[in-house]
Structure 1
Amino acid sequence: MTNGARRRMGVEERREQLIAVALGLFSHRAPEEVSIDEIAEAAGISRPLVYHYFPGKQSLYEAALRRAADELAARFVEPHEGPLGARLLRVMERFFDFVEEHGPGFSALMRGGPSIGAMEAAGSGRARAMIDGVRQAAYEQILAHLGVTGPAPRVELVVRSWISLAETTALIWLDSRAIPRGELERQLVHDFAALAAVSAAYDEEMAGLLGRVLADEPSDGPFGDLLTRLVALAPQPT
């Protein structure tokens, strides 16, 4: 390759490039540790040109958060085919793929997105809105898998509690990685079944929903695995 002039990018193409570069940097280091100079160098452009497309690091950081939020929400999209346990396991595998690929960026996103500079209050509000959007998208996807519209209060409680649990579990795992990732993915699927089962013990509608879900579950699937583990824990008759 010669040292000729670089190919000129259109405005949107350059913005997309800067967002991708920034997301890559923010995914591996805390945003306050990443400078505009580093972003410019990684993009192969000058510092003033970065400011031509984004007024400051805060706006570029928010654009990167938006990209991350959209990508994370997409990880919950799964075809409505086959047993629910297997579907949820695939969702958790993709969710933890994202967590592993974007560690510090995921932590920043889930914890409200640390803002930078004078825009701190407004930036924090926008970051919270982004993660709320991810949670809502995940919630709607799980309801769709359950075949539920207009969910009853206990169904909403189970699904939202499970999404919160998955988020908290991922954050704790990132801090130490003390438990193998695959075990946590399966455990979170088991957690969903456990939350639903406890709720079903108090509510006939939830019991009916859980019964329909379990009717399609194979004995060697994630939910069947949970039942086997629980039975093994029960005291044996003497």
Structure 2
Amino acid sequence: MARSRLTPDQRRDQILDLGMEAFSALPFDQVAMEDIATHAGISRALIYHYFPSKKELFAALWAREHEQLAHNVHFMAGHTVRSQVRAALVAHYTFYEHNMTLMMIANRSAIAVDPAVRSPITFELNRLRDHTLDALDLAGSSRDLVSVALSGWLALVREVALEWLELHTFSRDAAVDLCMTALDALVSPHADLDRLPGGLPGPAAAL
């Protein structure tokens, strides 16, 4: 009876919610699909109908969490590129801290090499790169050069996040400051991070 009251989309969301609870509390190897099925009040066969493996369940819920992160990161008029990149970094690092167990599974576990598991964070960081390039209003070889610089920088952003989460011996702001210092070193020689999106000069340039 309980099973018939849920549509397929509702059942899928229920399984993802329960998976989120399980993966947030336990290492990947200790999460059992059978336990999630029991909590959902469904058979093991039905949970495998929605998610053929535990890895695919994790990848789906990790992607769903990143969809919410994407809604929270926007570049807006009236703020310099530098300030908006910093705000985006704070949003990403806050998200990583809130989902620390999932972040470690996606980057430090046996399934971390799987493209489906790695793709949500890679996609979201690449989206940040593209937003930054668009805000800098670069074209041609200048855009290509800064794009390469930003791709290298985002690899650093990812690694700093993981080290910060593992060590917890320095603050989130210190981690963000470190990344912004690296951004200045890589990008500032080639683009004006203090400009406003849309071609307007930033406050410092207007003085």
TM-score, with length taken from structure 1: 0.69
The answer to whether the aligner puts 1:213 opposite 2:203 as a matched pair is no
Aligned residue for 2:55? 58
Aligned residue for 1:192? 183
Distance in 2 (CA, whole Å) between partners of 1:143 and 1:152 is 7
> Residue by residue, what CA displacement relative to the aligned partner does 1:107-142 show, whole Å, maximum 9, x if unpaired?
23245x633xxxx9xx82433444443332222122
**Residues 1-238 of structure 1: matches in 2 within 5 Å?**
8-110=5-107, 114-115=110-111, 124-150=114-140, 151-197=142-188, 200=189, 206=190, 209-210=191-192, 213=195, 216-217=202-203
CA contact (8 A) 1:73 1:134 kept: yes
Amino acid at match of 1:196: V
Change (3 A) 1:157 1:34: same
Distance in 2 (CA, whole Å) between partners of 1:212 and 1:168 is 26
- The Cα shift of 1:5 comes to 5.7
Distance in 1 (CA, whole Å) between partners of 2:179 and 2:38 is 40
Q: Which has the larger radius of gyration?
A: 1
CA contact (8 A) 2:136 2:193 kept: no
CA contact (8 A) 1:62 1:127 kept: yes
Greater displacement, 73-82 / 133-142? 73-82
Change (3 A) 1:159 1:74: farther
Amino acid at match of 2:110: P
CA contact (8 A) 1:76 1:91 kept: yes
Partner SS, residue 27 of structure 1? helix
Structure 2: gaps of 5 or more residues = none
- The Cα shift of 1:168 comes to 0.7
- The Cα shift of 1:189 comes to 2.4
TM-score, with length taken from structure 2: 0.78
- The Cα shift of 1:196 comes to 2.0
Question: What is the aligned-residue identity percentage?
Answer: 23
- The Cα shift of 1:194 comes to 2.6
> Residue by residue, what CA displacement relative to the aligned partner does 1:38-63 show, whole Å, maximum 9, x if unpaired?
32344454444423432332332221
Change (3 A) 1:5 1:63: closer
CA contact (8 A) 1:80 1:145 kept: no
Paired residues in the alignment total 200
Change (3 A) 1:59 1:212: closer
Change (3 A) 1:146 1:25: farther
CA contact (8 A) 1:23 1:68 kept: no
Distance in 2 (CA, whole Å) between partners of 1:42 and 1:5 is 12
Distance in 1 (CA, whole Å) between partners of 2:35 and 2:167 is 28
CA contact (8 A) 1:27 1:102 kept: yes
Could you list the structure 1 runs, at least 4 aligned residues long, displaced by more than 6 angstroms after superposition.
Answer: none
